[in-house]
Amino acid sequence: MEQNTERKHVAIIGAGITGLSAAYHLQQAGHSVVVFENSSRIGGVIQSSTKDGFLYEHGPNSLMVNDRRVENLIQKTNLSSEVLVANKAANKRFVIHQGKLNTLPSSPASFLTCSLFSFKAKLRLAKEPFIAKRPAEAGGESFADFVRRRLGPEMLEKAAGPFVNGIYAGDPNRLSTNYAFPRLFALEQEHGSLFKGMLKTAREIKTGKGDTNRLAKREIISFKNGMESLPKGIAALLEEGTLFLDTKLGGISYNKKTKRWHIDWKGKNGTIGQGSFSDVIITVPAHKLEELPLEEKVLDAISRVPHLDYPPVASMMLGFKRSQVKHPLDGFGMLNALNEKSKILGALFTSTLFPGRAPDDCVTINIMLGGSRTPEHGKMSESAMKASAMDELRRLLGIQGSPVFSSLVRWEKAIPQINIGYSSILEQLKQCERKFSGIHFSGNYRGGISVGDCIISGIKLTEKISS
Ligand SMILES: Cc1cc2nc3c(=O)[nH]c(=O)nc-3n(C[C@H](O)[C@H](O)[C@H](O)COP(=O)(O)OP(=O)(O)OC[C@H]3O[C@@H](n4cnc5c(N)ncnc54)[C@H](O)[C@@H]3O)c2cc1C
């Protein structure tokens, strides 16, 4: 990033991956930065733990690297030697349909010959390039309607529905195509067809045209010691004195005349501090915005944002002796088809994905429960969750006996749902940013929820502040 002539003094609130990416890139661009974090650790939802020879994640299990900017950041962190690329088996994905595991086809040939999709669904898919584009409209279209219209109902039920479970733990009938799946939306808008758009984009990436940040090779990665290595690696690149952990903010006020932000805080051991900043980047989750000591008029300006839906998700890691599991676990994991009656959302075969997740004679399976369509399953007692998970694992994977390892992480408010109506939330954020110069709202509820998207949001903020 180029050195900027005007040096800005920037406060970042929240040391999750969005805040850390912004901090690193802003410092690289020559700005002065402090990061306030109210907990004692960095990384936000990216947390890795080890116990009894098992390594498990509380939040993300992996990161998809399909953008040069994300790849560059990882190279800068000196984590290159710790990067683990997902096992090739991860290309295989299973869908639970009518109580059985089915392999999701991964190529046109396997799609034509698979038994998961009916002949009618295959014919319907072939029509996609000839279906007229629907003009973009203010209200937007739900993801379910979009997929049904372009690809047919079976593709929604058996492919797109499970995909939505895996990313958002969301409800495709409510998720907005425009904002939750902007790339798919753009393919239709720009090329009139998803297939035509995908082919053209792939050609452009190969020949170095189009979006030069997109990588031809998409890799799913993690790190030897888990995903938490990434925020730790970025934090190690920050200048000394950048991070204020265990810090409670006392006030964040705006001076209209000077167009500067005044922040006071109470740090670890009761130390009190204050500072004046040209810019404040707020990266806390939307549902936490009201807890910030922001001026009433700022909070009024973003009144709808804290009400964004964040359904509960529970992440249960179960470990078994390899000999207890009949199934080879030769894939990324398994996800429910849309109308499948099940108490789990799906499961990841984590010890297949990356080495070092379990002792040599063991395997791990990460089960997700809850989400938008079945939030009650994310709030069950631990014993009820385990019983539900074991019912499914016995039936689908032929697992015998009890797990030799188990851990449960509950996210009461897990993932923001970018549903129909999100445009009014976005509009409030933009209006607030116009009204109060120097304030910026970022984080996974704006610009994409994946770890890679959050890294890019930090880069885009740096470009905006530097411009
Ligand atoms: C269970 C789960 C599984 C996921 N799986 C994947 C996956 O496999 N791959 C993938 O790419 N993505 C995945 N994601 C999504 C991705 O991990 C997140 O979207 C991303 O890490 C969010 O980063 P963030 O910095 O925006 O927010 P957060 O990580 O929420 O960070 C916000 C930070 O703000 C701090 N904060 C809050 N209030 C205050 C305050 N008052 N003052 C100061 N600081 C405050 C918090 O303590 C936190 O550190 C998953 C998410 C979850 C929950």
Distance of alpha carbon 84 from alpha carbon 370, whole angstroms: 29
Q: Are residues 316 and 396 located together in one domain of the fold?
A: yes
Distance of alpha carbon 331 from alpha carbon 168, whole angstroms: 20
Distance of alpha carbon 354 from alpha carbon 223, whole angstroms: 9
Q: Are residues 265 and 255 located together in one domain of the fold?
A: yes
Name the domain boundary from 170, 197, 216: 216
Domain, as residue range, for 456: 9-46+227-308+418-466
Name the domain boundary from 160, 193, 216: 216
Total tally of structural domains belonging to the chain: 3
CA nearest to 183, candidates 84, 24, 64: 64
Give 342-359 pLDDT, tens digit per residue: 999 999 999 999 999 999
Distance of alpha carbon 332 from alpha carbon 396, whole angstroms: 15
Give the chain's mean pLDDT: 95
Cβ(288)–Cβ(38) below 8 Å: no
Give 116-131 pLDDT, tens digit per residue: 999 999 999 999 999 9
Band of pLDDT at residue 4, cut at 50, 70 and 90: very low
We report the CATH number of the domain holding residue 280 as: 3.50.50.60
Ligand 1 atom with minimal separation from the 443 CA: 26
Distance of alpha carbon 447 from alpha carbon 467, whole angstroms: 19
The reply to whether ligand 1 has any atom less than 6 angstroms from the CB of 222 is no
Q: Are residues 281 and 301 located together in one domain of the fold?
A: yes
Q: Are residues 302 and 435 located together in one domain of the fold?
A: yes
Q: Are residues 355 and 395 located together in one domain of the fold?
A: yes
Question: Percent of the chain having pLDDT more than 90?
Answer: 90
Ligand 1 atom with minimal separation from the 249 CA: 42
The reply to whether ligand 1 has any atom less than 6 angstroms from the CB of 86 is no
Residue 323 in any domain: the answer is yes
Q: If you average pLDDT over residues 160-164, what whole number do you get?
A: 94
The reply to whether ligand 1 has any atom less than 6 angstroms from the CB of 172 is no
Residue 254 in any domain: the answer is yes
Residue 172 in any domain: the answer is yes
CA nearest to 219, candidates 67, 59, 95, 58: 67
Q: Are residues 72 and 141 located together in one domain of the fold?
A: no
Helices (H), 355-408: 382-397
Classified as helix, coil or strand, 221 is strand
Residues 6+ apart with CB under 8 A from 426: 179, 446
The reply to whether ligand 1 has any atom less than 6 angstroms from the CB of 442 is no
Query: Token pair of 291, please?
Result: 């807890």
Classified as helix, coil or strand, 278 is coil
Strand partners, 305: none
Give 55-101 pLDDT, tens digit per residue: 999 999 999 999 999 999 999 998 999 999 999 998 999 999 999 99
Ligand 1 atom with minimal separation from the 449 CA: 19
How much of the chain is in helix, strand and coil states, percent to nearest 5?
Answer: 40, 25, 35
Give 238-274 pLDDT, tens digit per residue: 999 999 999 999 999 999 999 999 999 999 888 999 9
Q: If you average pLDDT over residues 176-186, what whole number do you get?
A: 95
CA nearest to 66, candidates 452, 463, 454, 460: 452
Gap from CA of 315 to ligand 1 centroid (Å): 15
| pLDDT, position 277 | 98
Distance of alpha carbon 41 from alpha carbon 15, whole angstroms: 8
Q: Are residues 287 and 378 located together in one domain of the fold?
A: no
Residue 94 in any domain: the answer is no
Give 375-424 pLDDT, tens digit per residue: 999 999 999 999 999 999 999 999 999 999 999 999 999 999 999 999 99
Q: Are residues 303 and 313 located together in one domain of the fold?
A: no
Closest residue by Cα to atom 12, ligand 1, is: 450
Band of pLDDT at residue 5, cut at 50, 70 and 90: low
Q: Within 10 Å of residue 62's Cβ, how many Cβ atoms?
A: 23
Gap from CA of 19 to ligand 1 centroid (Å): 10
Name the domain boundary from 149, 182, 216: 216
Residue 176 in any domain: the answer is yes
Q: Are residues 263 and 404 located together in one domain of the fold?
A: no
Distance of alpha carbon 216 from alpha carbon 207, whole angstroms: 10
Q: Are residues 295 and 265 located together in one domain of the fold?
A: yes
Residue 166 in any domain: the answer is yes
Q: Within 10 Å of residue 276's Cβ, how many Cβ atoms?
A: 12
Cβ(102)–Cβ(342) below 8 Å: no
The reply to whether ligand 1 has any atom less than 6 angstroms from the CB of 38 is yes
Residue 434 in any domain: the answer is yes
Q: Are residues 372 and 423 located together in one domain of the fold?
A: no
Q: Are residues 195 and 344 located together in one domain of the fold?
A: no
We report the CATH number of the domain holding residue 406 as: 3.90.660.20
Distance of alpha carbon 146 from alpha carbon 141, whole angstroms: 6
| pLDDT, position 218 | 85
We report the CATH number of the domain holding residue 131 as: 1.10.3110.10
Residue 167 in any domain: the answer is yes
| pLDDT, position 271 | 92
